[in-house]
């Protein structure tokens, strides 16, 4: 399935349910390489299937490593430290977890290899790793800019005579790369790797060390400053290994469970496949949420977030040191919008060299939502938002999966968010938006579409009142626009001028009263002439498009009942209940006639009938958003029902759905 370029997300009311998370990216790519370097076959279960693991698998295939896939399982036939292919051209995409360790392993493999990636990969630094490898005699050249991929690797003469040094304060992946590769040289000698500068993202080094141990190499970690690989080390397959679910991916769902409780209704959101015993540092995110006032439940093989702790109305805004959880920390930048005070995230300097400059991206996109944000080289302060400050926004994602995933949580604000290039989640979580939709509860919508004078307005208003929902009379928008156009002498087929007018329409609905600026136009818009004009300009696609946002904005908690022609088919396609209300033409003409007389508007039944017929024909025959029942709409013929009976039928359907 190809994904849309922009994904519109409805405003959310709550969350609940459970999600089985995909495998961890960090563990999947490390295990694939370790299994390839080992002696003997390794059977891997729970492998992540995503862009970044595809990059690693494709590289291993080109290097001559046999991998038999079977869904989320794979058997890697290890090559005992020597890749069969002595030459290869390897595409690394934007996968840091592939290019860094492969550079180190291939630099020791006495072959000729070219490594390159997407444009952003060629902006991500790799010099610290290359320097450490060149210092021991590896042959690595830059074929683009010095310090960045693409790289050309030659056979070289790697030889370790003393301790290796590598910087630990830009990316912990440089150290991981050395730790994964150096056992290849440790058969006859002890190898020491010293870290220069403060080591960031320690939990990721912990993952590396634990996995090395599973593959038979036991590294002595001396206070995160020096790592000693004992002489005689050699990779041996553990036979079978299960990949843990991805703890960074868990953060979005735990945050959804937290934010779902903002309105007091908290059904837990449970993430399956991670727990307190996980080797991934990002499970710490759940502890951070606990400190912020979220009710977290820890189970065996799962973690759940069940809204806010008793007595809390918002999350706690505070300073959070994110050095150990750089990826999950992005999620905290969004939950901060729902804080009771500003949140300052520190220790996030590594964001600058990730898939995009994540600090800059975060500032730009949070600002679009109306948030106040400040940032420095390695920190970000996000101020909480109140109701009116929120703005609808189309969020740019910068080809960064985490931008797309964490901004989906902004839909817990009273806004309509759209995510540009939602397909970028392929990098680590191809099914993210499906999983997200399965656990969140959008603000509910009931749509009642039907022909003119079918009684949908009265029925919809009564249903809304009974449920305490907001009410949208979408016809009133078209009528108000038509009234303004008639007054200003704008031709009813002048699409650009009408669309411009629609975009700034000063319309406000206050119960049954419709305001156009300071004027109460409730009665004026009901005139037949205005109805005909509305029906005429409603055929113009730019006009319909311009009125769309106005209609989406009315979807607010606790819910909305919307009536019109295209509520179920176009405006709210995800509505929880769609009704198509009709009545025989004679019955509708009679009702409309009575209504007009009641309003003091003088007309004959024949005139009304003729008007109805011409309006029906135009509304049904037009090319865009034509009047027709939505596929899932329930048909309701009100010819022989009174208003109360019709309303009761809709309410009954709604109760059945709920």
Min separation Cβ 486 and ligand DC, Å: 14
Q: Which is nearer to ligand DC, 132 or 501 (CB)?
A: 501
- Inter-residue contact 219 to 179 (CB < 8 Å): yes
Q: Is 550 helix (H, G, I), strand (E, B) or coil?
A: helix
Catalytically annotated residue among 275, 327, 400, 566: 327
**Residue 76, strand partner residues:** 42, 67
Catalytic (active site) residue 623: no
Q: Which is nearer to ligand DC, 56 or 483 (CB)?
A: 483
* 374 sits in which H/E element: strand 373-375
Min separation Cβ 534 and ligand DC, Å: 4
Buried b (16+ CB within 10 A) or exposed e, 11-43: bbbbbbbebebbbbbbbbbbbbbbbbbbeebbb
Using CA atoms, how far residue 47 sits from 29, 177, 270, 433, in Å, is: 9, 20, 21, 20
Min separation Cβ 585 and ligand DC, Å: 14
Min separation Cβ 505 and ligand DC, Å: 14
Q: Which is nearer to ligand DC, 116 or 565 (CB)?
A: 565
Distance CA 48, CA 52 (A): 9
- Inter-residue contact 577 to 447 (CB < 8 Å): yes
Distance CA 179, CA 228 (A): 9
* Cβ neighbours of residue 642 closer than 8 Å, sequence gap 6 or more: none
**Residue 226, strand partner residues:** 194, 222
Which value, to the nearest 10 degrees, does the dihedral of the CA atoms of residues 204, 210, 211, 213 take? 150
Min separation Cβ 654 and ligand DC, Å: 20
Q: Which is nearer to ligand DC, 289 or 477 (CB)?
A: 477
Buried b (16+ CB within 10 A) or exposed e, 111-147: bbbbbbbbebbbbbbbbbbbebbbebebbbeeeeeee
* Cβ neighbours of residue 510 closer than 8 Å, sequence gap 6 or more: none
Distance CA 76, CA 61 (A): 10
Min separation Cβ 619 and ligand DC, Å: 5
Min separation Cβ 9 and ligand DC, Å: 22
> Looking at residue 50, what DSSP letter applies?
S
Q: Which is nearer to ligand DC, 319 or 520 (CB)?
A: 520
Q: Of 481, 482, 473, 469, whose CA–CA distance to 449 is shortest?
A: 473
Q: Which is nearer to ligand DC, 224 or 515 (CB)?
A: 515
Min separation Cβ 530 and ligand DC, Å: 8
Tokens of 17: 């349910």
DSSP string, 93-130: TT-HHHHHHHHHHHHTTTSEEEEE--TGGGGS--HHHH
Min separation Cβ 527 and ligand DC, Å: 11
Distance CA 341, CA 620 (A): 52
Residues that bind ligand DC (CB under 6 A): 452, 474-475, 478-479, 531, 534-535, 538, 564-567, 615, 619
Residue 386's Cα: distance from chain center in Å? 22
Cis omega before residue 150 (within 30°)?
yes
- Inter-residue contact 219 to 209 (CB < 8 Å): yes
Catalytically annotated residues: 327
């Amino acid at each position: 399935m190809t994904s849309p370029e922009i994904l519109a997300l409805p405003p959310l009311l709550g969350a609940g349910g459970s999600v089985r998370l995909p495998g961890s990216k960090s563990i999947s790519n490390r295990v694939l390489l370790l299994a390839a370097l080992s002696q003997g076959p390794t059977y891997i279960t729970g492998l992540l299937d995503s862009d970044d693991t595809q990059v690693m698998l494709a590289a291993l295939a080109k290097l001559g490593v046999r991998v038999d896939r079977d869904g989320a399982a794979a058997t890697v036939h290890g090559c005992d430290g020597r890749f069969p292919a002595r030459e290869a051209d390897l595409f690394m995409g934007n996968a840091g977890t592939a290019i860094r360790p492969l550079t180190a392993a291939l630099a020791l493999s006495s072959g000729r290899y070219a490594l390159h990636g997407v444009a952003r990969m060629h902006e991500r630094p790799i010099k610290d790793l290359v320097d450490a490898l060149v210092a021991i005699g590896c042959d690595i050249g830059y074929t683009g800019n010095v310090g960045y991929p693409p790289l050309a690797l030659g056979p070289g003469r790697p030889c370790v005579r003393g301790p290796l040094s590598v910087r630990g304060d830009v990316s912990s992946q440089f150290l991981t790369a050395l730790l994964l590769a150096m056992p290849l040289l440790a058969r006859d000698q002890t190898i020491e790797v010293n870290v220069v500068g403060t080591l960031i993202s320690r939990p990721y080094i912990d993952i590396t060390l634990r996995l090395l141990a599973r593959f038979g190499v036991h590294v002595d970690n001396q206070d995160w400053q020096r790592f000693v690989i004992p002489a005689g080390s050699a990779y041996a397959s553990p036979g079978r290994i299960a990949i843990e679910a991805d703890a960074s991916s868990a953060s979005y769902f735990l945050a959804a469970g937290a934010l779902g409780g903002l309105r007091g209704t908290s059904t837990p959101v449970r993430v399956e496949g991670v727990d307190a015993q996980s080797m991934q540092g990002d499970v710490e995110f759940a502890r951070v949420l606990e400190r912020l006032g979220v009710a977290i439940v820890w189970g065996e093989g799962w973690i759940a977030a069940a809204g806010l702790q008793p007595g809390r109305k918002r999350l706690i805004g505070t300073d959070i040191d994110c050095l150990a959880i750089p990826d999950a920390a992005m999620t905290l930048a969004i939950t901060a919008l729902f804080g009771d005070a500003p949140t300052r995230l520190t220790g996030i300097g590594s964001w600058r060299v990730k898939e995009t400059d994540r600090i800059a991206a975060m500032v730009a996109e949070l600002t679009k939502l109306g948030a106040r944000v400040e940032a420095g080289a390695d920190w970000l302060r996000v101020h909480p938002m109140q109701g009116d400050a929120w703005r609808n926004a189309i969020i740019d994602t910068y080809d960064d999966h985490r931008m797309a995933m964490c901004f989906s949580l902004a839909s817990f604000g009273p806004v309509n968010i759209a995510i540009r290039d939602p397909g970028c989640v392929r990098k680590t979580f191809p099914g993210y938006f499906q999983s997200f939709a399965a656990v969140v509860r959008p603000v509910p919508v009931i749509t009642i579409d039907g022909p003119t004078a079918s009684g949908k307005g009265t029925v919809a208003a009564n249903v809304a009142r009974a449920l305490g929902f907001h009410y949208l009379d979408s016809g009133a928008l078209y009528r108000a626009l038509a009234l303004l156009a008639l007054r200003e002498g704008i031709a009813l087929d002048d699409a650009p001028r009408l669309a411009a007018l629609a975009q700034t329409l000063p319309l406000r609905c206050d119960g049954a009263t419709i305001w156009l600026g300071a004027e109460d136009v409730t009665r004026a818009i009901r005139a037949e002439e205005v109805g005909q004009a509305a029906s005429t300009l409603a055929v113009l696609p730019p006009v319909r498009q311009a009125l769309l946002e106005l209609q989406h904005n009315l979807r607010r908690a606790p819910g909305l009942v919307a009536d019109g022609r295209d509520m179920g088919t176009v405006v709210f396609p995800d509505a929880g209940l769609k009704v198509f209300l009709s009545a025989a033409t004679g019955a509708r003409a009679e009702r409309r006639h009575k209504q007009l007389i009641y309003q003091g508007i003088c007309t004959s039944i024949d005139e009304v009938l003729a008007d109805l017929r011409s309006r029906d024909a135009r509304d049904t025959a037009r090319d865009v958003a034509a009047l027709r029942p939505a596929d899932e709409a329930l048909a309701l013929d009100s010819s022989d029902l009174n208003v109360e009976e019709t309303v009761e039928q809709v309410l009954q359907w709604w109760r059945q759905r709920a």
